[in-house]
Chain A
């Protein structure tokens, strides 16, 4: 197995937890940050800190240039048609809320919002709120027991009343890679707007928004080796023009009078207030780090480890897999027969293994699978074969302790 060897880029991974070497298998919650991201952010504060877009002085110009260079990199990376189609947000959740809030003035009672049953709460609750305010109806693409979406239902679910279709590219809870192109083209037959939560896709797969022909696509830097608190919303110009501003304040205006204002053009219309400048600049370093390795190499490395780990887990009699979709990325969700996921997580932590347990902010999925939650391991570019081996040894010990 050809492996990437990137641990040395991540200072945090070189430590002991409860006396054992840290094995970090919770990258779907957040990835660790390479040294170059940490250094870039420290360097920004040491040499370039200044507010962006409104200073005539040199520092402000330097900060603005670095900041806008990242917008430009992201625009190129996801192949957006225009730089102004990249809106900086606090993260994926903020991006969903921006769009869902904007649609309040565009929906009518009786309109339909089609969401999948496979969603993180962040791509469900904002649509519930929109439905409540607008009188629109929520409908759902059902999830099969395999963790795949039942797209045979699309034709009967999508109709002229469907205005929005929202779903994730890759499921955080089960790792399912969804057939995004099929769903997008089905939605477009009735002119519905397609929103994709790409939070879990960014770290594992190349994204080409023009090829997908998606209307909105969201992601978070912290899930792709960058800092927390910064993310993006990609939107096609025509949709971004249609949506009203989300928040009012500085940066997002053209002209302000006491009783009314006119708004700035894209992207500033949606970027009220001083942005997370160091976050954006750190994200730029993370993106460069990914591109230097190559996202295809990262995916291949993770796919190899995924099948290696799946094979070893399958040999343990008490393991029950949740989510057996044909195409999955970097996530294995499982349970131990007769044991609660929480107990498994607590004991693994005693042995230095960081996993996630519970409903993974996707309670409807757990309800549908009739379980309280799962144990989830999630992989990243820095995960090694040794990590998987140590995890398996610890899991076997855990099972024997619980019996």
Chain B
């Protein structure tokens, strides 16, 4: 299986082709549009992360192949960011996720989306992803 580092490198390479911000955001928007819709029954208030600006929903389950996440947002750029975040952690083992820092965002110039002042729900989503990692550690499936 691809490690987190492999997947980070893929994304960094993918973004290295963009010369300007417009190309980058066009790509982010199309990732947002392509992100699989979350099953409506899973968009519960327990799974909701209330941001001041955009809403995020996150659900996770432990499988034999690691943690499977599904997430959604009402804003398309936030959905694009979710697509990137999930691409790295999807199916990884809990112990890899528990302390993961999402450092690749800095290399592709998108860390500002995790700034607390954006209040878009992503900061809490990243924390929640790690918490799932912690909670599922030691639980065999």
What residues make up the interface of A, taking CB atoms closer than 8 Å to B?
A: 18, 339-343, 345-347, 350, 357-359, 372-373, 397, 401-402
For residues 69 through 109 of chain B, which have their beta carbon under 8 Å from a beta carbon of chain A?
74-78
Query: In the complex the two chains form, is B21's CB within 8 Å of A340's CB?
Result: no
Nearest chain B CB to A179's CB is how many angstroms away? 31
For residues 108 through 136 of chain B, which have their beta carbon under 8 Å from a beta carbon of chain A?
113, 119-120
Given contacts A340-B75, A343-B77, A350-B25, 19 further A-B contacts (CB under 8 A): A340-B74, A341-B53, A342-B54, A342-B77, A343-B75, A343-B76, A343-B78, A345-B53, A346-B77, A346-B113, A357-B53, A358-B52, A359-B52, A372-B55, A372-B74, A373-B53, A397-B22, A401-B29, A402-B29
Nearest 9 interchain pairs by C-beta: A340-B75, A342-B75, A342-B54, A342-B53, A343-B77, A358-B53, A350-B21, A343-B76, A343-B75
B26 proximal to A (CB < 8 A): yes
Query: In the complex the two chains form, is A402's CB within 8 Å of B52's CB?
Result: no
Contact of A402 among B53, B55, B76, B78 (CB under 8 A): B76
Q: Which residues of A contact B120 (CB under 8 A)?
A: 342
Interface string of B44-55 (1 = CB under 8 A from A): 000000001111
A350 to B112: give the CA distance in the assembly, Å.
11
A342 to B76: give the CA distance in the assembly, Å.
9
Contact of A340 among B22, B26, B54, B113 (CB under 8 A): B54
Given the interface pairs A18-B21, A358-B53, A373-B53, the reply to whether A342 lies near B78 with Cβ below 8 Å is yes
Name which residue of chain A comes closest to B74, CB basis: A340
Q: Which residues of A contact B25 (CB under 8 A)?
A: 347, 350, 401
The dominant DSSP class at the A interface is: helix
Nearest chain A CB to B116's CB is how many angstroms away? 14
Q: Which residues of A contact B76 (CB under 8 A)?
A: 339-340, 343, 402
A358 to B54: give the CA distance in the assembly, Å.
8
Nearest chain B CB to A29's CB is how many angstroms away? 12
Q: Which residues of B contact A372 (CB under 8 A)?
A: 55, 74
Interface string of B30-62 (1 = CB under 8 A from A): 000000000000000000000011110000000
Q: Which residues of A contact B74 (CB under 8 A)?
A: 340, 372
A402 to B113: give the CA distance in the assembly, Å.
17
- Interface centre among B22, B25, B75, B120, by most A CB within 10 Å? B75
A343 to B75: give the CA distance in the assembly, Å.
6
A270 to B74: give the CA distance in the assembly, Å.
45
Q: List 18 A-B contacts (CB under 8 A).
A: A339-B76, A340-B54, A340-B74, A341-B53, A342-B53, A342-B78, A342-B120, A343-B76, A343-B78, A346-B77, A346-B113, A350-B21, A350-B22, A350-B25, A357-B53, A372-B55, A401-B29, A402-B76
Name which residue of chain A comes closest to B22, CB basis: A401
Nearest chain B CB to A88's CB is how many angstroms away? 29
Nearest chain B CB to A399's CB is how many angstroms away? 12
Q: Which residues of B contact A401 (CB under 8 A)?
A: 22, 25-26, 29
Nearest chain A CB to B55's CB is how many angstroms away? 8
Name which residue of chain A comes closest to B24, CB basis: A350
Q: Which residues of A contact B119 (CB under 8 A)?
A: 358
Nearest chain A CB to B115's CB is how many angstroms away? 12
Q: Which residues of A contact B29 (CB under 8 A)?
A: 343, 401-402
Nearest chain A CB to B102's CB is how many angstroms away? 18
A359 to B29: give the CA distance in the assembly, Å.
23
A401 to B75: give the CA distance in the assembly, Å.
14
A350 to B21: give the CA distance in the assembly, Å.
8
- Interface centre among A339, A340, A402, by most B CB within 10 Å? A340
Nearest chain A CB to B22's CB is how many angstroms away? 7
Name which residue of chain B comes closest to A373, CB basis: B53
Q: Which residues of A contact B21 (CB under 8 A)?
A: 18, 350
Name which residue of chain A comes closest to B120, CB basis: A342
A397 to B29: give the CA distance in the assembly, Å.
14
A401 to B27: give the CA distance in the assembly, Å.
10
